[in-house]
């Protein structure tokens, strides 16, 4: 365990790309709950969030993955074909050199995040940076690209293979709030301990009537 209070990096607007105030409010609620539980919270973010997210997209843009999709696309539902088509349109044309380089870039980013998490083992950030969109609009023009942008922190974390827990943070403007608590590699225990602290401090957003 780290000496003294576990330090938490609070990220309200990943890479300064814009985050809804309702979402930022939820992140701050979770941070306040952790601070009350004895964690030390600082507002700063890990390095190269956008680069990490972009690297994850590049890793999905290899010739092999695109070829595999071409093989299975005829059997996929129409909505899935529309999503994948919009996804690849959003992330750009196939570039085999960039795709291969992305696996090297990932290792450099892992090193940088590892150094950051030596001082701040936990990171609290949005899962998605906008409020939920209306049901049935996920394939509207431009929506897939917007979803990728809004999921940039989650994509970065998944690219790096870091453990994370998504936990409710409350309700605002009639909508639920949630955050992700991200830990260093192989420290799922830190994530789960912090998630429990947030859950203990914030009332259940969907209470169950036992009757």
Contacts of range 71-78, beta carbons closer than 8 Å, 24 or more positions apart: none
Residue range 168-206, pLDDT digits in tens? 999 998 889 999 999 999 999 999 999 999 999 987 777
C-alpha separations of 120 from 18, 112, 178 in Å = 23, 12, 21
Domain residues of the chain, as ranges? 7-201
More confident residue, 63 or 30: 30
Among positive and negative, which fits the CA dihedral 100, 104, 110, 112? negative
Please say if the pLDDT value at position 58 is more than 80.
yes
Residue range 120-156, pLDDT digits in tens? 999 999 999 999 888 888 888 889 999 999 999 999 9
Pairing label, strands 122-126, 40-43: unpaired
Determine how many CB atoms are found less than 10 A away from the CB of residue 123: 27
Q: What pLDDT does 3 receive? A: 61
Tell me the backbone φ, ψ of residue 51, rounded to 5 degrees. Answer: -65, -40
CATH number of 7-201: 3.90.1300.10
Kindly state the DSSP code that residue 26 receives in the 8-state scheme: H
Strands (E) located in 23-172 = 40-43, 122-126, 164-172
pTM, 2 dp? 0.90
Pairing label, strands 122-126, 7-10: parallel
Residue range 95-121, pLDDT digits in tens? 889 989 999 999 999 999 999 999 999
Please say if the pLDDT value at position 208 is more than 70.
no
């Amino acid at each position: 365990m780290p000496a003294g209070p576990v330090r938490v990096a609070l990220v309200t607007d990943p890479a300064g790309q814009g985050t809804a105030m309702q979402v930022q409010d939820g992140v701050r609620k979770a941070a306040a709950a952790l601070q009350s539980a004895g964690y030390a919270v600082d507002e700063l973010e890990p390095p190269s969030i956008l680069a990490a997210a972009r690297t994850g997209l590049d890793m999905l843009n290899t010739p092999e993955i695109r070829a595999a999709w071409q093989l299975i696309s005829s059997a996929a539902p129409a909505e899935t074909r529309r999503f994948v088509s919009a996804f690849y349109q959003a992330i750009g044309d196939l570039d085999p050199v960039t795709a291969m380089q992305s696996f090297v870039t990932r290792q450099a980013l892992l090193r940088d995040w590892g150094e950051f998490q030596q001082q701040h083992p936990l990171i609290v950030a949005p899962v998605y940076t906008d409020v939920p969109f209306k049901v049935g609009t996920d394939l509207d023009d431009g929506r897939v690209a917007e979803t990728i942008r809004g999921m940039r922190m989650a994509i970065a974390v998944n690219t790096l293979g870091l453990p994370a827990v998504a936990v409710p943070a409350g309700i605002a403007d009639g909508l639920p709030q949630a955050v992700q608590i991200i830990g260093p590699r192989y420290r799922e225990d830190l994530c789960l301990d912090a998630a429990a602290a947030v859950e203990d401090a914030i009332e259940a957003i969907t209470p169950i009537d036992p009757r």
